[in-house]
Amino acid sequence: MPTELSGQLTGAGKRFAIAAARFNGHIVESLVAGAVDCLVRHGVDAGAITIVRCPGAWELPLVVAALAQPKDAKNRVHGIIALGCVIRGETPHFDYVAGECAKGLAAAGLAARLPVGMGVLTCDTTEQALARAGLKAGNKGVDAAMAVLEMASLLERL
């Protein structure tokens, strides 16, 4: 019989960080609220959540990398949720920001062997972003927090 491992959706006794971009803040704030609510509903003490603000999605990978490998062990977290919003415009700027943000977040998590939740919206329109931020069907901040909770638990078991 094979052995099967999976993570649990519990954050009791764990610390988490949320890296949140200020650009498109009216959308990102809904993602932050969803992520915090999800963590608390799954047993994370609100005082064990640190929210770090940065200018935009381009800066998120550097912030996540710093959070993933803190200078002081007391600031160590079990997972990080990256939240931002990039909306396509008329130039290729969107492609560079969205692509490099995603690559940088993945690289930061792998380098630190720490779960990083990808809650950066990449949308064609503001309406699409608002829908994914909880105004219509679901909140991608919640989804990113759920993934980080499960991965933090799974990594403890591996």
Catalytic residues, by residue number, are: 93
Rounded Cα distance between 127 and 145, Å, is 23
> 128-142 in b/e burial notation, b at 16+ Cβ within 10 A?
bbbbbbbeeeebbbb
Beta strand 79-87 pairing with 116-123: parallel
Beta strand 16-21 pairing with 116-123: unpaired
